[in-house]
């Protein structure tokens, strides 16, 4: 594990962008190089990634009403669209 | 659902897209049949997004229907090769802001959430002794919460953060696509999304405390504000 605290802080500062694949290729390489040598940051990143996956999974679990398409078609038709 | 009409219906079209008159059909336009197919494919994801925005089944269905009607009315402004999802979601979100009055009983103030930071849940979990070296990262606080509890946490965020976070979680959208939908710079999306996620973590921890999933935090900064 690296003892370079600044590097850990800089890495965690890029956590959100890294998980969203919004970093430049050069920044991504820097972050991953740090994660290869820093168990603490790696665990933080894994934790945050798992939290985001859980949130997506749960929030997207929304039952869709039956015949949504049919009702829309009826409304479009009734309004002459 | 009450609908407040806007003085200029051009606002329904994505920014930067000129509203064409019906007799100036451009070659980039899609046919009515193609447009209908695109719209039908978007209904289910749009309903899920609308439900998380409104928090109500009927309001969500009304919102999708009104957005679909508006989209059909302005279909000539959609151009082939551009993102239909971003175009339609922008109409839906605009209509949500202008036409829907959400039933919200609680919204947490910004000040109450301002101390949320990048690894709030991780730090709280570690403080509470919930993280072990051999622990499965997916067996965390959120995975033990019900969908409704997670949605409740999201619903309490201040509007500007909640909308960005809802778009982010409900669909696989890039920051640029969210920026296009909301008509704001990508930097605004980035900062609102990051802050919104940190705030959400704090709210999730509060709800997990209420549910007894995690032990009550003694530190007042994580308690009720």
Q: What is the pLDDT of residues B165-208, one digit of tens each?
A: 999 999 989 999 999 999 999 999 999 999 999 999 999 999 99
| Distance separating alpha carbons of residues A62 and B114, to the nearest angstrom | 30
Contact A46 B137 (CB under 8 A): yes
pLDDT band at B219 (very low <50, low <70, confident <90, very high): low
* Side-chain-side CA neighbours of residue A33 (13 Å): 8
| Distance separating alpha carbons of residues A49 and B117, to the nearest angstrom | 16
Q: Which of B134, B167, B169 to mutate to test the interface with A (most CBs of A within 10 A)?
A: B169
- As given in the structure block, the two tokens for residue B52 are 């998380």
pLDDT of residue A1: 47
B189 by Cβ neighbours in 10 Å (0-12 / 13-18 / 19+) ranks as buried
pLDDT of residue B100: 58
- Specify the residue for token string 């509007």: B159
Contact A51 B121 (CB under 8 A): yes
Q: Is the pLDDT confidence value at B57 over 60?
A: yes
Q: Is the pLDDT confidence value at B3 over 50?
A: no
How does pLDDT run across B66-124, given as a tens digit for each residue?
999 999 999 989 988 889 999 999 999 999 988 655 555 456 666 666 666 767 888 88
Q: Which residues of B touch A52 (CB under 8 A)?
A: 197
More reliable by pLDDT, B6 or B90: B90
pLDDT of residue B129: 75
More reliable by pLDDT, B30 or B60: B60
Contact A81 B72 (CB under 8 A): yes
Q: What is the ipTM of this complex?
A: 0.86
Please state the φ and ψ torsions of residue A71, each to the nearest 5 degrees. Answer: -65, -35
Under a CB-based contact definition with an 8 Å cutoff, are residues A39 and B23 in contact? Answer: no
| Distance separating alpha carbons of residues B216 and B109, to the nearest angstrom | 21
Helix (H, G, I), strand (E, B) or coil at A70: helix
- Whether A79 has its CB under 8 Å from any CB of chain B: the answer is yes
Give residues 43 to 72 of A whose Cβ lies within 8 Å of B.
43-44, 46-56, 58-62, 64-65, 68-69, 71-72
Under a CB-based contact definition with an 8 Å cutoff, are residues A29 and A18 in contact? Answer: no
Three-state SS string over B167-225 comes to HHHHCCCCHHHHHHHHCCCHHHHHHHHHHHHHHHHHHHHHHHHHHCCCCCCCCHHHCCC
Contact A65 B200 (CB under 8 A): no
How does pLDDT run across A3-24, given as a tens digit for each residue?
444 589 899 999 999 999 999 9
pLDDT of residue B128: 77
pLDDT of residue B20: 39
pLDDT of residue A60: 96
Q: Is the pLDDT confidence value at B130 over 80?
A: no
- Whether A17 has its CB under 8 Å from any CB of chain B: the answer is yes
pLDDT of residue B146: 93
Q: Which residues of B touch A42 (CB under 8 A)?
A: none
Looking at residue B76, the DSSP 8-state letter turns out to be G
Quick one: what percent of chain B has pLDDT higher than 90? 50
pLDDT of residue A57: 95
Candidates A43, A62, A71; nearest CB to B48: A62
């Amino acid at each position: 594990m690296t003892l370079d605290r600044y590097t850990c802080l800089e890495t965690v500062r890029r956590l959100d962008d890294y998980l969203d694949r919004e970093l430049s290729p050069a920044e991504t390489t820097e972050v991953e190089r740090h994660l290869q040598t820093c168990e603490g940051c790696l665990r933080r990143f894994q934790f945050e990634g798992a939290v985001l996956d859980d949130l997506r999974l749960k929030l997207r679990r929304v039952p869709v009403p039956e015949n949504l398409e049919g009702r829309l078609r009826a409304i479009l038709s009734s309004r002459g669209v | 659902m009450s609908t407040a009409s806007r003085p200029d219906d051009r606002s329904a079209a994505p920014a930067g897209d000129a509203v064409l008159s019906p007799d100036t059909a451009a070659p980039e336009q899609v046919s009515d049949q193609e447009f209908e197919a695109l719209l039908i494919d978007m209904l289910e994801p749009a309903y899920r997004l609308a439900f998380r925005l409104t928090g109500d089944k009927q309001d969500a269905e009304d919102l999708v229907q009104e957005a679909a009607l508006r989209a059909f009315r302005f279909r000539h402004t959609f151009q082939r090769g551009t993102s239909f999802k971003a175009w339609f979601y922008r109409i839906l979100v605009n209509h949500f802001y202008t036409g829907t009055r959400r039933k919200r009983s609680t919204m947490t103030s910004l000040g109450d959430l301002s101390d949320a930071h990048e690894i709030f849940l991780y730090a709280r979990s570690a403080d509470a002794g919930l993280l072990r070296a051999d622990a499965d990262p997916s067996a965390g606080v959120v995975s033990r919460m019900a969908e409704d509890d997670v949605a409740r946490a999201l619903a309490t965020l201040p509007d500007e953060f909640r909308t960005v976070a809802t778009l982010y979680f409900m669909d696989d959208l890039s920051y640029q696509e969210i920026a296009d939908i909301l008509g704001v710079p990508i930097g605004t999306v980035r900062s609102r999304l990051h802050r919104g996620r940190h705030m959400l973590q704090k709210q999730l921890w509060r709800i997990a405390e209420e549910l007894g999933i995690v032990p009550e935090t003694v530190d007042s900064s994580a308690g009720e504000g």
